[in-house]
Amino acid sequence: MQRNISLTPVITASTYLGMVSIGAVGGSYGAALEVLRATFGVGDAQLGLLGTAQTVGGLLGNLSSIPLERILTAGQRLCVGGLVFAFGAVCFALSAKFELALLALLTMGLGMGLFQINFSSLYSRGFGVRSGAVMAVMSSAFAVGSIAGPVMAAALTTNYRLLPIGFGVLSAVLAAMLLTARDTSHAAPSSHPPAKLEGAAWLFGLMVFFYVMAEQGASFWGVAHLESLGVKHEAAALVMSLFWAGLLIGRFAGAALSLKYSSRTMMLGSAAGATLCFAVSHVPAVAGAAYIAAGLCFATVFPTGLVWLARFNPSSQAITLYFVAGSVGAALGLPLIGALKNLFGASAIPTALTVSSGLCLLTIYAIGMRQPQDDAARAARLESVA
């Protein structure tokens, strides 16, 4: 596969900064829980619905990409996603009632979902054999934003709403710069029948469901867990920033490792390390360090999984399934962890994260066991249409 020549430096920088904006807003909620609780007068379970509204919107944004492919180019879809995200972020910042905030986050999530899926589709397939390394680097944008988000939220305190306004405006400016992007991997008609959602595609969906539940669960509820151990709010927010810093460092490292190790090996090692770290986070004396290490370990799972999936099944349907499953993982996982916290106390948070990460590891193992079977089936299909 040739490099996607439409991905110019301007487009690449704009998509990267767009993902930084998404990460900053999405990663800021955990550090702003007290402000949001005081603003809307709601409890933990209701606060979890903020993340659910955003991820349900993300799910709708993911699903909207397939029909929009028929009428809009990749750049136009990115532009629409960026503008919808910007509108939702500003509306969230200006919301005075909890119900309006939920609606604004649903809208913001819609834009995020549309932007993310087209961003990932372009970069996971647009650089041939180097797509794994490129995707690992580009996916670091979300981690960069997620590092900045909690720090900025903690610094802004009662002025937290300036954060979604600022990144919303930035996203709107960037959106106009993306119109010329094209998915040139789809430019020529294919002689092969379209790939169907079969084989490992559903297992990849299950894997990313558990992965996002653990990753976003740590980001959203990790501050609450650390505060229950006596860690001051500012220090707990810093730990969550370092959790995302671990993801950032890990993704840059993963770009180099992907040129040497198989996707299966990298993902098994990542998920196993993260599961161990989440288990260790039950120990109060090392909980903060364990969260940071979990971020470092978990870094390569999502981007490597996406590139691995593209080798099994490069269709838009498979990539959409991958993102939809991730959205469902966050939509169900965040309020579930909040409910468990209410029932069993804050110690339930690291337990839920450990279980989610462990199930992610088991699913990766199942995908690896299935790979020879899927490779043989794919080769047979190619021979039948040759």
* Whether pTM exceeds 0.85: no
Is residue 4 one of the residues assigned to a domain?
no
pLDDT at 199: 67
Is residue 276 one of the residues assigned to a domain?
yes
Is residue 75 one of the residues assigned to a domain?
yes
Q: Cα(320)–Cα(166) distance, rounded to whole angstroms?
A: 29
Higher local confidence (pLDDT), 254 or 280: 280
Give CA angle at 121 (119, 122), nearest 5°. Answer: 70
User: From the CA atom positions of the chain, what is the Rg in Å?
Assistant: 20
- What's the rounded mean pLDDT across residues 22-35? 81
Residue with tokens 């047979």: 380
Q: Cα(230)–Cα(226) distance, rounded to whole angstroms?
A: 7
Residues ≥6 apart with Cβ < 8 Å to 103: 53, 91, 95
pLDDT digits (tens, 9 = 90+) for 134-191: 777 887 888 788 778 878 888 888 888 899 999 999 999 999 888 877 766 554 433 3
Q: What are phi and psi of 313, to 5 degrees?
A: -150, 100
Residue with tokens 């990267």: 16
Q: Cα(123)–Cα(113) distance, rounded to whole angstroms?
A: 16
Specify the amino acid at residue 283: V
pLDDT of 89 above 50:
yes
Identify which of 100, 110, 129 has the alpha carbon closest to the alpha carbon of residue 64: 110
270: containing domain: 9-185+194-385
Neighbours of 370 (CB within 10 A): 14
Residue 192's pLDDT band, with cuts at 50, 70 and 90, is very low
Is residue 2 one of the residues assigned to a domain?
no
Is residue 3 one of the residues assigned to a domain?
no
Is residue 169 one of the residues assigned to a domain?
yes
Neighbours of 256 (CB within 10 A): 12
Residue 129's pLDDT band, with cuts at 50, 70 and 90, is low
Is residue 1 one of the residues assigned to a domain?
no
pLDDT at 267: 92
Question: Which CATH number does the domain housing residue 228 bear?
Answer: 1.20.1250.20
Is residue 48 one of the residues assigned to a domain?
yes
How many independent structural domains does the chain possess? 1
By CB atoms closer than 10 A (0-12, 13-18, 19+), residue 16 is: buried
